[in-house]
């Protein structure tokens, strides 16, 4: 949540930020309500002081008559004060509710535009070989795709041929855009999750296994509610299925005050994720790239405000270590303003090339939220000077399944229709690296 003071002091900047995001936000209404609130707040503070003064005078009155006069005056002030406080509380509730509809201010380095205007800042060709950091980033719409090999199969073709993926039974059980992973496919998914978690533990993260049902306030805290309720699943008792482990893990420390020496805190978590996506027909949604349910390993960081931008670069590197180890061709995008999430101040996307599908799969989205989520979720710490301040929060996928699985079987397919997976997974798959 943006601080009301920021909207007061930087109104034009906030308006421009919303325009560059392509978002309508009630900035003018917030300002109008704030202007209406200020004289009432001043009057309330004056009347509270007058009531307190009258209360003290009652105790020192020299005569009963004087005491009764003071009591009557205090009652009159209290009655008027009650009415003003109700009006003030109503205005503050309206302002607080409207502030939840204002997206975060994004960093000045974020390119302006839509997804086609995002910038490719880094490219790599498997295992970190030939990695190029572009001094002059490439605009996505001007980028060329890798050379196409028409002989390669898609992951849904390989998955059905090798009995790794069962689309028909998934649809039978749950409806369209569901599937089953079977046999070596299920084993591979489980192995990838374990390997990713272990890798993040080696990077210094501590593991959390969060609930997948969450309360409404947690989703307000991370920024999914109230704006994106139609993209999630709500249970009949008012709880929600999580769209990502970011939600429960970020809210772990809500309404607490952490100590400066506790920071930074880095968590990693595996969870199933649930999203009520709108699917179109055609090849864009073939296979297991998108679905209502999917698995993901997440990284969440709680940082001191002075350290969050350095932490964003470290978070990106942590995710890239996973991508490089699997030997993918990859690229890193700095997302343009209209492609940012509601809460993000800056986001990097990592995409990997799926040669059978002939497209880039996004497998990680890495964001710095500054104090935006912290203000909504009341995430605070006591700094080195003893002052209570808001934390900065960051998160990133490390990585998103099952897109990694899909790309793996496309990248490592053989001409005979089998798949030979990379050796990095041998401790988890044993002798089952060769899928036949």
Give 220-246 pLDDT, tens digit per residue.
Answer: 999 999 999 999 999 999 999 999 999
pLDDT of 434 higher than 70: yes
Task: List, for residues 323-372, the tens digit of each pLDDT value.
Answer: 999 999 999 999 999 999 999 999 999 999 999 999 999 999 999 999 99
pLDDT of 412 higher than 90: yes
Identify whether residues 8 and 127 lie together within a single domain.
no
Identify whether residues 92 and 132 lie together within a single domain.
no
In a domain, 376, yes or no: yes
Q: Looking at residues 297-326, what average pLDDT do you find? A: 98
Q: Whole-angstrom Cα distance, residue 367 to residue 334?
A: 10
Q: Whole-angstrom Cα distance, residue 242 to residue 395?
A: 15
Looking at 100, 125, 157, the residue that finishes a domain is 100
Tally of CA atoms within 13 A in the half-sphere of 118 that contains its CB:
20
**Beta-carbon count within 10 A of 154 CB:** 20
In a domain, 397, yes or no: yes
Q: Any idea of the CA torsion for 140, 142, 143, 145, to the nearest 10 degrees?
A: 110
Looking at 35, 66, 100, the residue that finishes a domain is 100
Q: Whole-angstrom Cα distance, residue 80 to residue 62?
A: 27
In a domain, 124, yes or no: yes
Contact 21, 340 (CB under 8 A): yes
Identify whether residues 94 and 152 lie together within a single domain.
no
Coil, helix or strand for 85?
Answer: helix
**Beta-carbon count within 10 A of 262 CB:** 11
Identify whether residues 75 and 137 lie together within a single domain.
no
Percent helix, strand and coil across the chain, each to the nearest 5: 45, 20, 30
What backbone torsions phi and psi does residue 137 show, to the nearest 5 degrees?
-55, 150
| Structural domain of 192 | 115-435
27-60 helix and 64-99 helix, angle to the nearest 10 degrees: 160
CB proximity list for 271: less than 8 A, separation 6 or greater: 209, 210, 212, 242, 244, 245, 248, 295, 296, 298
In a domain, 23, yes or no: yes
- The one-character DSSP state at 209 is -
Q: Looking at residues 17-21, what average pLDDT do you find? A: 98
Q: Looking at residues 19-42, what average pLDDT do you find? A: 96
Element (H, E) at 184: helix 184-202
Identify whether residues 208 and 331 lie together within a single domain.
yes
Structure tokens at 125: 């060709």
Q: What percent of the chain has pLDDT over 70?
A: 97
In a domain, 288, yes or no: yes
Identify whether residues 49 and 145 lie together within a single domain.
no
Contact 394, 265 (CB under 8 A): no
Residue 75 maps to which CATH number?
A: 1.10.287.40
CB proximity list for 136: less than 8 A, separation 6 or greater: none
Contact 104, 344 (CB under 8 A): yes
C-alpha distances in angstroms, 49 versus 37, 113, 221? Answer: 18, 52, 35
Give pTM, 2 decimals: 0.93
Task: List, for residues 39-94, the tens digit of each pLDDT value.
Answer: 999 999 988 887 777 777 777 766 777 767 777 777 777 778 888 999 999 999 99
Handedness of CA 257, 261, 266, 267 (dihedral sign): negative
In a domain, 109, yes or no: no
Task: Say what the pLDDT of residue 360 is.
Answer: 97
In a domain, 107, yes or no: no
CB proximity list for 292: less than 8 A, separation 6 or greater: 174, 177, 178, 233, 274, 275, 276, 277
Identify whether residues 20 and 168 lie together within a single domain.
no
Identify whether residues 65 and 122 lie together within a single domain.
no
In a domain, 358, yes or no: yes
Identify whether residues 165 and 132 lie together within a single domain.
yes
Structure tokens at 82: 């009650």
Higher pLDDT, 128 or 114: 114
Looking at 66, 100, 134, the residue that finishes a domain is 100
pLDDT of 312 higher than 60: yes
pLDDT of 127 higher than 70: no
Task: List, for residues 371-387, the tens digit of each pLDDT value.
Answer: 999 999 999 999 999 99
Contact 219, 247 (CB under 8 A): yes
Task: Say what the pLDDT of residue 242 is.
Answer: 98
Task: Say what the pLDDT of residue 52 is.
Answer: 76
Identify whether residues 82 and 179 lie together within a single domain.
no
Identify whether residues 344 and 420 lie together within a single domain.
yes
Beta-bridge partners for 259: 382
Domains of the chain: total = 2
Per DSSP, the residues of 251-310 read GGGTTEEEEGGG--EEEEEEEEEE--PPPPSSGGG-TTSS-SEEEEEEEEEEE-GGGHHH
Residue 343 maps to which CATH number?
A: 3.30.930.10
Q: What percent of the chain has pLDDT over 90?
A: 87
pLDDT of 164 higher than 60: yes
Q: Whole-angstrom Cα distance, residue 196 to residue 194?
A: 6
Identify whether residues 120 and 96 lie together within a single domain.
no
Task: Say what the pLDDT of residue 81 is.
Answer: 87
């Amino acid at each position: 949540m943006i601080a009301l003071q920021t909207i007061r002091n930087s109104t034009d900047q906030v308006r421009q930020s919303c325009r560059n995001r392509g978002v309508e936000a009630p900035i003018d209404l917030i300002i109008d309500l704030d202007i209406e609130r200020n004289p009432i707040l001043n009057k309330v503070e004056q009347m509270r002081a007058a009531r307190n003064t009258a209360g003290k005078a009652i105790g020192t009155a020299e005569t009963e008559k004087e005491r009764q006069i003071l009591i009557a005056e205090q009652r009159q002030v209290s009655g008027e004060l009650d009415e003003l406080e109700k009006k003030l509380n109503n205005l503050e509730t309206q302002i607080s509710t409207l502030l939840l509809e204002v997206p975060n201010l994004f960093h000045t380095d974020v390119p302006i535009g839509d997804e086609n205007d995002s910038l490719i800042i880094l490219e790599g060709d498997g295992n970190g070989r030939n990695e190029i950091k572009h001094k002059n980033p490439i605009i996505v719409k001007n980028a060329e795709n890798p050379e196409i090999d028409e002989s390669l199969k898609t992951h849904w073709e390989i998955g059905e041929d090798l009995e790794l993926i069962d689309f028909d039974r998934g649809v039978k059980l749950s409806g369209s855009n569901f599937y089953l992973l079977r046999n070596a496919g299920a084993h591979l998914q489980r192995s990838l999750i374990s390997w990713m978690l272990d890798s993040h533990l080696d990077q210094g993260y501590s593991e959390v296994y969060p609930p997948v049902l969450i309360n409404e306030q947690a989703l307000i805290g991370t920024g999914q509610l109230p704006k994106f309720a139609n993209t999630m699943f709500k249970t009949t008792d008012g709880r929600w299925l999580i769209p990502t482990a970011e939600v429960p893990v970020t809210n772990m420390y809500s309404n607490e005050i952490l100590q400066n020496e506790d920071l930074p805190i880095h968590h990693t978590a595996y969870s199933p994720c649930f999203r009520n996506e709108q699917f179109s027909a055609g090849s864009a949604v073939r296979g297991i790239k998108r679905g209502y349910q999917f698995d993901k390993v997440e990284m969440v960081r709680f940082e001191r405000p002075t350290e969050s931008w350095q932490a964003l670069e470290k978070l990106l590197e942590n995710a890239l270590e996973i991508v490089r180890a699997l030997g993918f061709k990859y690229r890193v995008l700095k997302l343009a303003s209209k492609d940012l999430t509601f809460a993000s101040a800056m986001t990097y996307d990592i995409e990997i090339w799926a040669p059978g599908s002939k497209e880039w799969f996004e497998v990680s989205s890495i964001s710095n939220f500054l104090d935006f989520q912290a203000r909504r979720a009341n995430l605070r710490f006591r700094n080195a000077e003893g002052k209570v301040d808001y934390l900065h929060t960051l998160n990133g996928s490390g990585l998103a399944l099952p897109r990694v699985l899909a790309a793996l079987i496309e990248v490592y397919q053989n001409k005979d229709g089998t798949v030979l997976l990379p050796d990095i997974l041998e401790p988890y798959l044993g002798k089952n690296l060769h899928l036949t």
